């Protein structure tokens, strides 16, 4: 199955997926929540969060050096522990990401409706959903190189206004003064929200089979991408926490900050930036998650239909399946609570992938651990396990239900595979 895909994505394309997988809509509402909890310590909390998540990223960077095949967490866990554990991780991640993609496009609709009210309901809403997800699906089918070009333009258009706001805000901020250390209970209560702002980097590891020299491109992009996003988060939070509106309770804190310095034009520009940010996040999500079923099909863990390759060298059936499913979920308004399941699936993928790293390194003829990996793995596992314990029974039951449904497909695919003469 190797070599079937066109390797049209380089380091920059992987970097775009990392950045846009991390920066979605969450950071636009987070500054006031963090400031209300820990005051001017909020920027430092985000910086600490980025450093801690870097431990997980270091482990993933090491994992990407050990394979050039698509699948990301599914590939790592499957190669280390066998087909079924890899399938469970891959399928759960895919199914949960499919659901959250539908939820995320509704976030896009909500922000777009603030600019263009006619898309907020009825026919206008349906047309916007189908246009966005259908367009992204078509773009992915005709080649990942085109996706990278579009994603690059989106990244520039969404980061430039944020960087301008950050620089203007820091320049206009009041004197920083001493940082007041908050109570531990305050930090503990808000730490999970801060951590969730850094979830999504793993998306970039999935399309390794369509990446040029992924063993070099992916580690670089993962490390650089998280560093860039962490500094942007820090700068934006610093600008907000030292502004006159910090602590006043605005529902859209960064929009309020833009209005403070740029008036109505600034607020309008920031609103458009949020729409672009969510659209770029949707693009990165579809590009990565739609590549999970082909990786499973390549190993005979899903029906071969998911692995069919188009004349553009892309897994067309899987991409269309994902895009269609996301459209259907987005038209069903009673499922938004399921979006949190996506985060739980990712945390379990982090835990399983980190646990796979020593075995994969031994299989590659390397020492199971070195001091850097040992420290990173310990921090990454502790952080991921702690975050997973903060979820509720509904999310675990939902994820378990997705796993049961996928298991049925697994055994169907395995039975067909065993029935084919070798």
pLDDT digits (tens, 9 = 90+) for 106-136: 878 888 887 788 887 888 899 999 999 999 9
Residue 421 lies in a domain: no
Are 92 and 403 spatial neighbours (Cβ–Cβ below 8 Å)?
yes
Helix (H) or strand (E) holding 14: helix 11-22
User: What angle in degrees, to the nearest 10, is found between the helix axes of 339-363 and 371-388?
Assistant: 160
Residue 177 φ/ψ, nearest 5 degrees: 65, 180
Q: What is the mean pLDDT of residues 208-215?
A: 90
Buried b / exposed e over 40-74, threshold 16 CB at 10 Å, is: bbbbbbbbbbbebbbbbbbbbbbbbbbbbbbbbbb
Q: Are the C-beta atoms of residues 323 and 286 closer than 8 Å to each other? A: yes
Q: Which residues contact 393 (CB under 8 A, 6 or more apart)?
A: none
Domain ranges, residue 30: 11-415
In a domain, 40, yes or no: yes
The residue among 7, 4, 12 whose CA lies nearest residue 228 is 12
Which range, of 104-118, 205-219, 261-275, 348-362, averages the lowest pLDDT? 104-118
- Residue environment code for 130-164, b if the CB has 16+ CB neighbours within 10 A, otherwise e: eebbeebbebbbebbbbbbebbbebbeebbebbeb
To the nearest whole number, what is the mean pLDDT of the chain? 87
Q: Above 80 in pLDDT, residue 347? A: yes
Q: What is the pLDDT of residue 51?
A: 95
Task: Give bridge partners of residue 9 from the DSSP assignment.
Answer: 211
Please give the radius of gyration of the chain, using alpha carbons only, rounded to the nearest integer: 21
Instruction: Classify residue 124: in a domain, yes or no.
Output: yes
Contact in structure between 387 and 195 (CB atoms under 8 Å): yes
Residue 176 maps to which CATH number? 1.20.1740.10
Per the domain annotation, does 4 fall within a domain? no
123 domain-assigned:
yes
Number of domains in the chain: 1
List, in order, residues 6 or more apart from 156 with CB less than 8 Å away: none
Using CA atoms, how far residue 15 sits from 29, 134, 207, 280, 290, in Å, is 24, 24, 12, 13, 18
Q: Comparing 135-144, 171-180, 277-286, which segment has the lowest mean pLDDT?
A: 171-180
In the chain, the percentage of residues whose pLDDT exceeds 70 is: 92
**Residue 331: CA atoms inside 13 Å, Cβ hemisphere, count?**
15
- 97-101, 366-370, 410-414, range with greatest mean pLDDT: 366-370
Task: Note whether residue 6 is domain-resident.
Answer: no
Rounded to two decimals, the pTM is 0.88
Q: Which residue, 2, 105, 112, is CA-closest to 328?
A: 105
Residue 198 lies inside a defined structural domain of this protein:
yes
* Structural domain contains residue 2: no
First CA to last CA across the chain, in angstroms? 15
């Amino acid at each position: 199955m190797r070599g079937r895909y066109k390797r049209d994505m380089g380091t920059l394309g992987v970097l775009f997926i990392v950045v846009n997988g991390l920066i979605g809509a969450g950071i636009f509402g987070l500054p006031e929540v963090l400031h209300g909890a820990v005051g001017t310590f909020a920027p430092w909390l985000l910086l600490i969060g980025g450093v801690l998540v870097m431990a997980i990223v270091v482990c993933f960077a090491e994992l990407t050096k050990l394979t050039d095949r698509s699948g990301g967490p599914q590939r790592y866990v499957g190669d280390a522990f066998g087909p079924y554990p890899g399938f469970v991780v891959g399928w759960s991640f895919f199914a949960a990401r499919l659901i959250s993609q539908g939820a995320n496009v509704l976030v896009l609709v909500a922000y777009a409706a603030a600019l263009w009210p006619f898309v907020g309901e009825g026919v206008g809403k349906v047309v916007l959903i189908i246009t966005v997800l259908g367009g992204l699906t078509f773009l992915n089918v005709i080649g990942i190189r085109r996706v990278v070009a579009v994603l690059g333009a989106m990244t520039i258009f969404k980061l430039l206004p944020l960087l301008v706001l950050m620089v203007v805000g820091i320049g206009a901020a009041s004197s920083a003064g001493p940082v007041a250390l908050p109570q531990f209970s305050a930090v503990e209560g808000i730490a999970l929200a801060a951590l969730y702002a850094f979830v999504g980097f793993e998306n970039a590891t999935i399309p390794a089979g369509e990446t040029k020299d992924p063993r070099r491109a992916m580690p670089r992009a993962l490390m650089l991408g998280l560093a860039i996003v962490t500094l942007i988060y820090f700068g934006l939070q610093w600008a907000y926490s030292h502004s006159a509106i910090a602590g006043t309770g605005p529902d859209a804190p960064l929009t309020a900050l833009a209005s403070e310095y740029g008036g109505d034009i600034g607020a309008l520009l920031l609103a458009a930036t949020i729409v672009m940010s969510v659209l770029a996040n949707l693009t990165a999500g579809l590009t990565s998650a739609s590549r999970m079923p082909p990786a499973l099909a390549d190993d005979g863990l899903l029906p071969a239909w998911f692995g069919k390759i188009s004349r553009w060298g892309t897994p067309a059936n899987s991409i269309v399946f994902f895009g269609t499913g996301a459209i259907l979920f987005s038209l069903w308004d009673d499922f938004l609570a399921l979006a949190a399941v996506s985060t739980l699936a990712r945390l379990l993928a982090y835990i399983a992938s980190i646990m796979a790293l020593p075995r994969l390194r031994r299989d590659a003829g390397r020492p199971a651990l070195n001091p850097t990996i040992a420290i990173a793995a310990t921090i990454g596992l502790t952080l991921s396990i702690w975050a997973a314990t903060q979820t509720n029974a509904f999310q675990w039951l939902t994820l378990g239900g997705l796993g049961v449904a996928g298991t049925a497909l697994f055994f169907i695919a395995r039975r067909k595979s065993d029935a084919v003469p070798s």
